[in-house]
Amino acid sequence: MEANTTFEFQSPLLKPIKTGLENPTKDHVELGDPLSPMARLFHRPGSSLYIMGLLGSKTTIDPHHFKAGVESAFLAYPRFTSLLVPDKKDTFASDGSAKMRWVKTKVDIDQHVFFPKIEPKDTSHVGVDKFVEEYTREITGISMDMSKPLWDVHVLNLDKMTTQGAMAVALFRFHHSLGDGTSLMSLFMSFTRKASDPNAKPSLPVFSKRKPHTYSMSKIHKFLSSLRLLWNTLVDVLNLLATAFFLDDTSNPLKGPKDARQSPRRIILKSVPLEDIKFVKNITKTTLNDVVMGVIESALSRYLNRKYGEINQGGNKVKNSIGNLPQKLRFRATMYFNIRAVQGIQAVENMINKDSLARWGNQLGYVIYPFKIMMRDNNPLDYVYRAQTMMHRKKASMESYFSYHIGRFFLNAFGFKVASIPVNPTMWFSNMIGPQEEITIFGYPVAYLGCTCFGQTVALMIHVMSYADNLNFILSTDDDVISDPHEICNDLEQSLKVIKMAAVAKKK
């Protein structure tokens, strides 16, 4: 996007927003830190990967007050006052793989925080939920202006409350090269406060340390555990390389084309009670992640069973029908992991320390997670137990660490022509622990909170994030592939209900 241009929206509901710099180069200073290899991967030619933060405020937001808060919170950190330029030592190769550096620049907050004017008529005939959804979709189709720092915020003050209880919605766009979700969440937590105590920062989740092997463990047991780790890692790395180069998923109604990243994304947030997830966890003696993955596998099975039934019936709607799924269906997700030595959300002051074990940046690895798409109406808890087995298997491997270092090696050695995140799995998955209690941002009470990505190479991404008493499923979908993403949300909700009912029956 050129300087002094506007966001051009296709939807008649949305007004153009002025953006850009008067002179994007005059305030540059000397070259700074180079862009890390993983961050370069998110600037792959023909695509860029972004993080979208979703925040609902229970009250309307004052523009001047909010801008002052954002300016104070964001501009204290170098990445938010820097832009990217090609390294003087490099020229662009044919694949666009020149190294880049962060360059300090002056920031005009009015070029980063936007308050579009919304008239009552804009929301009256579609409803506020649909209006927010369409606005969000439109801005996911607009690349960021490289002549200024790669972030912005769009705040929608609404005339009616959304179904999630928000009178205003703030949409935070960050280019992924600024940092991963863990980095950005640490920053977010630094300028929010507990709703119950305006002077107290939100509680950071406490992660229990893994229990070390006891000295009483036999040498044979230790040897077998190490051998298992090595074998699992070898198998997983070979599978990772095969997936990167040729091993594709079965064509299915949720799998998009290889260039799906070029499409705008529809972003939908679905909340379920966190207490229900915990109840199932306690009954099945599994983890929260196991239950979440079981719910997702159940929901995907329901959705695909229905879709294949419609295909078999010539496009007609199918209800309460099972047995429509193909017998052999390879359906996998690229699942992202934080590979820092210290897990969880850390204080931002600690993360920006270059010597920190939880340093700022893109410290992401991934694993290839295979779903077993099938209907399990006889025992829905089997979804959770299978997820537990798969998660145990993935934990007994160093696949995520190898994926990170293999990606760096291929990028440095061969450039973007070889290095990329696998495009053959059907979907992406990521999760994050959010604030454990209700919070405020610059004094505004937060109704809901979530994040996801757009610009990815798949038609479906599911991000899971907790906030207070809720667990939020955030879907990022390609309309050209998935025309009914709300049905997936309904399937997630229904799957949790069915699994919880099975857990209640097991408890009796």
- Contact between 446 and 440 under an 8 Å Cβ cutoff? The reply is yes
Tallying the residues shown for the chain, one arrives at 508
Q: Which long-range contacts (CB under 8 A, 24 or more apart) does 234-238 make?
A: 235/397, 236/367, 236/368, 236/394, 236/397, 236/399, 236/402, 237/399, 237/402, 237/406
Q: Which long-range contacts (CB under 8 A, 24 or more apart) does 256-259 make?
A: 256/458, 256/459, 256/460, 256/478, 256/480, 256/481, 257/481, 258/423, 258/457, 259/46
- Tally the C-alpha atoms within 13 A of residue 263's C-alpha that lie toward its C-beta: 19
Looking up tokens 């993360």, which residue turns up?
A: 351
Interatomic CA distance for residues 224 and 211, integer angstroms:
18
Whether 154 is a known active-site residue: answer no
Q: At what angle do helices 381-395 and 274-284 cross, to 10 degrees?
A: 80
Phi, psi (deg, nearest 5) at residue 458: -125, 160
Active-site option among 176, 221, 392, 463 = 176
One-letter amino acid of 426: T
> Among 131, 134, 115, which Cα is nearest to 123's?
131
Interatomic CA distance for residues 320 and 302, integer angstroms:
10
- Contact between 270 and 464 under an 8 Å Cβ cutoff? The reply is no
Q: Name the token pair of 298.
A: 């159940």
Cβ partners under 8 Å of residue 48, min gap 6:
42, 143, 144, 175, 176, 455
**Spacing of C-alpha 453 from chain mean position:** 5
Can you spell out the DSSP letters for 147-195?
TS-SEEEEEEE-SS--TTS-SEEEEEEEEGGG--HHHHHHHHHHTEEET
- Contact between 294 and 383 under an 8 Å Cβ cutoff? The reply is yes
Helix H or strand E encompassing 304: helix 288-312
Catalytic residue numbers? 176
